[in-house]
Structure formats: C-alpha cells, structure tokens
Amino acid sequence: MFAVADGMGGHQAGEVASSMALSVVGQYIEDNIGLISPEKLVEKAASAANAALYTKASSSAKFRQMGTTLSLLYREGDTAYLAHVGDSRAYLFREGLLKRITRDHSLVATLVEEGEITEEEARTHPQRNIILRALGLEPQVEIDVSAVRIQPGDVFLLASDGLTGLVPDEGIARVMAGEGGPAEWSRLLVDAALDAGGTDNVSVVVVRILESETVVPVRGARPVTDASDLPPGTVEEGARPAHPDRRRIRNWLIVGAVIVAVLAAGFGTAYYFYNKTFWVGVRNGKVAMYRGFPFWDLSVVEQQTDIDVNLLPAALRERVQDKLEPESKRNALKTLETLKNEAVKNSSVVPDVEGKKFTVARDMLEAVGLRAAPELVSRTGIAADLVIDQDPEPGTRVGKGTMVKIKVVMSGSPAKEV
C-alpha cells in the first residue's frame, strides 16, 4: 500500500487530518485483506478514514473543518487499485509515457473540463486552492475508485498539489524518463517544485513495479483513461538668479503641483482597479458577486444570485463565506456558474409525496437523495398509511440527505406515551 494525504484546515488540524487518514486506511486494509474484493477494500478504507476524521472534527472546535486529500495505491497480484479524493494526483509512467490516472476534485479542474480555462491558466487562477471534495468534511464522501492492470517496469507516482501545481506534466515526465530510480526521481521532482517557487507542501511517492511471480508481462493491458485524455535644478548658464522669496514660492508651487499630480494619479489608479476588481461572497445567505475591494466595506453588489450557500459542499461553502480571492469580472462570472452547478449537484428538489402511501413516498424521497422522517397522526375518514402533509413543501431545493418531515395516517387509535 502506498498513499499521499495532503491536510487542510490550518497547520495543526491539517497535520492531524493527513496523519489520521493514513493510519486508518492502513489499519483497515491490514484487517480486511482477503475478506472483500480489492475495489471495495480501498473504497471502504477511504470511507473509514472519512468517518473517523468527521467524528474527530465534530468533537472539537480546534479541529473544525479539518480535512485531507487522499490518493491511495494498493497492489494485489498483477493489478493496482486506486482510491482518490481531492486534488492530490496519481500517475502511471509506462514505456516513456506519463498518464494521469486520477481527476482533481477542485474548482479549477471543473473549469478546465468545461473548457473555460486552460491547464496553464489553472496554475495561476485565484481560486486554484479550492477543492470540492475531501475526507473529513461531510459524513459521507464519494470516492473515485479505479484499477490498472500492471506490467513489469510500470512506475506509479503519487503527489500532492505542491508538486503538480508548480511542475507541469511534461516536466514530471522528463524527470522520470531520466537516469536513476524511484529515490532519485523523487528527489529531483521535489527539487523541481522548490525551484519553481515551493509555495506548498511537496509530497512525492514513486513506486516502480518489478517482475515477480505475480507480476508478469501482460498482453493488451487495459488502457488507463483519465482527465488528461479528455483527459505569472540646474540654473541655465548666464541666467540671472531668481529672487529668494520668488524662488521659495516657485518651489512650493512645484512641490504642490507634484503632490496634487501624485494624489490624482493614485486616486485614478485606485478607482480604475476598484472598477476592475470582482470577488464572490455571500449576501443574505445567497451567493453574490461584488465589485470593488473586499475590505473596509469598499465594495458593492454587482450581481445577486439565488444560489443558497448552504447547498454548496462544506469545503466550498466555507471558502465562499470567507470571501473568494479577487479576480476579473469574466472569471468571477465563471465562478458563479461553477458554484451554481455544484449547488445543483449537491442538492435535490423535494418531490410531492402528499396522498401517496408511506412506502411509495419514502422511495420517492430516497430516489433523489433525501430521507423520510415520518410522524404518525390519527385522522378519521382517511385511509391508513397515507401521507397528508410534508415539510419542506414540494419544489423546494434542499441539500442531499435532508430529512423531509411527512405526516402519515396511522391505523387504529394513537399510541399511548411511554
């Protein structure tokens, strides 16, 4: 088993999250090898880490909103199984070609996939640090699971965004095509990231698969599909000296004129950038785009949306509530569109279940990711087991997993309180 976890939520909380995730994943795999399929093994290991982190984060304000990415590689026989959440990455280097296996769960990755920005623009995008999925932020998290049929000589690379955010895939491929082995390549990749600025933690794991009794040459190995396929002041000679008082007045006038010019230029520049600066935040519980500087209340609402901030994934919701980084109007509009899409994916429209049998109503709610919270009531003249009221009302958009209260007519008289 090999893994990279990149913590978030502040220095201490991030360190706790990443260390805890690796510990839980390792223990889960050790305890369950051979008991379940490898695909389920890595998926459930990551889910177990998510549950442990969420419980830890909920137990103390010190660890609130802590989380971590995870890129996990587990080899069993001639197959590598991967579980992935966040914006760390897993690559396969085979026969001189570098292939990205995982997909970044980040805001800029979504923009790249939608064709709004390029990979190069993503490296300097003001919202490049916003991830949409991570371990520990929600009670459940969707885990990306994939499998790769391995061949002798295959090299897998697991890395945090401290490497991939600064060194392009072509640069990574050049290093791994050079002389040396995993230890040398790891050192060179870390050095490349540091030379490029080293603005974040740089974690690199390189795994080379050698031929063995269980790893033999494979014909027609399954190709890996990934996001990459789709996927910064002389007096003039002979002139008569000016009178001292007149000279002093003239000097003061010059100084005054310079000060006025500097102030005018400063205010003009500030006003220019004020009208060219946009950022995304929250107003009255809804996502809004502001124009102006995001401090000292020096901004105005440029566009108010109907995007409920509570419908966004937890990590993204926190970032929006804290105000996203300033950007151009064009990019801010793209950010709004992305937030709208994320809110839709993370929410459901409450169906109309009134007049339905309880089991039918429950199934309708579960089909759209909601849960039924039944309340038994006594009504005469109405058939038993029918839903007569619901809250929220039909057509309301709510977050996935929301409990919908439904009143269900019971048969017989009301039960006595115990």
Q: How confident is the model at residue 146 (pLDDT cuts 50, 70, 90)?
A: very high
pLDDT recorded at residue 296: 56
The tens digit of pLDDT for each residue in 231-256 reads: 333 333 333 444 556 666 767 777 77
Span 287-315, average pLDDT: 84
Q: How confident is the model at residue 276 (pLDDT cuts 50, 70, 90)?
A: confident
Domain 2-208: give its CATH superfamily.
Answer: PPM-type phosphatase domain (3.60.40.10)
Percent of the chain residues topping a pLDDT of 70:
84
The tens digit of pLDDT for each residue in 10-55 reads: 667 889 999 999 999 999 999 999 899 999 999 999 999 999 999 9
pLDDT recorded at residue 364: 94
Q: Where are the domains of the chain?
A: 2-208, 276-345, 348-409
What's the CATH number of domain 348-409, 3.30.530.20, 3.30.980.10, 1.10.443.10, 3.30.10.20? 3.30.10.20
pLDDT recorded at residue 234: 32
87: pLDDT strictly greater than 70: yes
Spell out the CATH class of 276-345. Answer: alpha beta
Span 175-195, average pLDDT: 94
417: pLDDT strictly greater than 50: no
What residue type is 401 in one-letter code?
G
Residue pointed to by tokens 């001292």: 244
101 touches 226 (CB < 8 A): yes
Span 158-168, average pLDDT: 94
How far apart CA 315 and CA 57 sit, in angstroms, is 13
Give the lowest-confidence range in 13-22, 56-65, 253-262: 253-262
Average pLDDT across the chain, whole number: 84
